[in-house]
Amino acid sequence: MSFRKWSKWVLFSIFILVVASFPAQSCTDIVVGKNASADGSVITSHTADGAFYDARVRTIPGKKHPAGTKADVFWNIIMEEDYEPKKIGEIPQVEETYTYFHVGYPFMNEHGVAIGETTVGQKDELKTFRPDAKAIMTIEQLEVFALQRAKTAREAIKVIGELGEKYGFLPSCGSEGECLTITDSEEAWIFEIRSTGMMWTPESGKPGAVWVAQRVPDDCVVVVPNMSRIREVDINDTANFIASKDYMQPAIDLGWYDPASGKPFIWQLAYSPLTGNDDWSLSSMWIRNRLYTIYSQLDPTREWDPYAETMSYPFAIKPQKKLSVQDVMTFLRSHMEGTPFDMSAEAAWLVPEGDKMVKSPLATPFVTNNLRTLLKIPYNRPVAKWDCAYSFVSQARSGYPAPVRTVLWFGYDNPHTTCYVPIYSGVLETLGSWRVFDRNAFSLGSAQWAFILADDLVNHRYQEAIQDLVKIRTPLEEAFFKELADIDEKALDLAKNDPAAAQEYVTEYTQSCMKKAEKAWWDLNWQLISAYNNNKKK
């Protein structure tokens, strides 16, 4: 081995040790097939569980491009404005790009394609990192290109897969692999991608990524809580599987799979860390508890073990009842109530009242590190996280024209304390206060601050304050859902003769919902400050 290669491996080993010392930032996706949803829509969802993720919701207009134009490739588009994107490459631009919605993980385009993201573990030998890596395609950059170039989920998979192979997949969440939940109005897909190690170069003649995609059965639900969900791949079943040409090759080369063994190739086992101290291993408890919490509610007739191995859960499950968008929101808001993992149910929260012990009004499922240490409360990772940047639930509806095809319900900060507002796929621009945020400077002009503050205030006296929040949120969200049918009808009528007018109409409506939610949350903040200052209810 040359000194240069040896040096890279030394640096890589140090990098792995450093990354392993940081707590995992993690996301949860729930995907619902069209025959498993209450209204026939295809649903995906996502929680961006890291306070640093860019949550400013902006539309990036589509445009026509002259022949020979290049598209820039960036590192660091995932972060909020404190971290400037850095150009690390460029690729040929296509003739036309579509309008898409930009956040940390871009999530929807004008044609109603929606994408959720969740990081998944990959074995050390596959890991790749800057600045020495020759790979340049992060998952968020691949999402940008997919949304700019695809009208369907299958087209998005093709774009991401081809660009990942040609230019190399570059991890941006630690050094891990990625999973995307990609939907259009007819189909939902689980797409997984892995990098191919530090030694890959574009000149090697080998693909810079391996990937597979599996279709979600129409009558099923799939939950992806930061773990690989795809197992056996039937490449001949083109209706349900798509994969890179050499998706098995790295596993063969590294001795993780022997084609002569007669055993099937299991994608999940081949490329995921199985056990150990790795936060991203298949045995991690913070993955198991989310699987248990959601699957046990999807099918309560089955007996589920809270501590069962993650690989014992099926890829997809047929729910006992069809799920609405509101049902998926409820899952995202879960702090694992009724399970062994609810931190608000710990005995440490019990205080004497007369001759009995009662739960303290300070008891919260969102316990800070210092408070957990003080009260000796073990950590259990809930579905909803207090440091979530944003979350969404999208519903893509068959038979609808592009401006109204998909409605994406977006919420800032902790899903448990947010209010979801509808964003139509045809929206031209979001409300100005939803496009600005500076974490270093509190501002009444930023909607994101309204939701961050409310979550913090509620958590100071959770048992009482969460009830105040729900009293405001429930009628507001119910009104949004009730209005949707009338908004759809009016927009559909406009779209028949004037699609541009339909876009203007849904833009005005989305902005009005944003304005209502933002005002309601600022009012809630002033109410909470008045009611619970000095940690004592007035």
421 vs 382: CA distance, rounded Å: 23
pLDDT given at position 25: 57
User: What is the DSSP-derived secondary structure letter of residue 49?
Assistant: B
How many CA atoms does the CB half-sphere of 339 hold within 13 Å? 27
Judged by DSSP in three states, 392 sits in strand
- Non-local (6+) Cβ contacts of 454 within 8 A are 413, 417, 469, 521, 524, 525, 528
- Non-local (6+) Cβ contacts of 518 within 8 A are 431, 433, 434, 447, 450
76 vs 141: CA distance, rounded Å: 9
Place of tokens 């939701």: 451
- For the chain, list residues with pLDDT below 50: 1-24
Asked if 357 and 350 touch (Cβ cutoff 8 Å), the reply is yes
Q: Token pair for residue 76?
A: 């660091």
61 vs 535: CA distance, rounded Å: 47
Look at residues 473, 469, 507 and name the one whose alpha carbon lies nearest to residue 487: 507
274 vs 284: CA distance, rounded Å: 9
Pairing of strands 188-194, 210-215: antiparallel
143 vs 433: CA distance, rounded Å: 25
pTM of the model: 0.95
Asked if 279 and 286 touch (Cβ cutoff 8 Å), the reply is yes
214 vs 200: CA distance, rounded Å: 26
64 vs 42: CA distance, rounded Å: 30
Domain ranges of the chain: 3-332, 343-416+439-535
Q: In what order do the strands lie in the sheet with 210-215?
A: 58-60, 100-102, 108-109, 114-120, 177-183, 188-194, 210-215, 241-243
pLDDT given at position 3: 37
| End-to-end CA separation in angstroms for the chain | 71
pLDDT given at position 83: 77
Phi-psi region of 182 (alpha: psi -120 to 50; beta: other; left: phi over 0): beta
- Non-local (6+) Cβ contacts of 128 within 8 A are 135, 168, 169, 170, 171, 175, 195, 196, 197, 198, 200
Asked if 505 and 483 touch (Cβ cutoff 8 Å), the reply is no
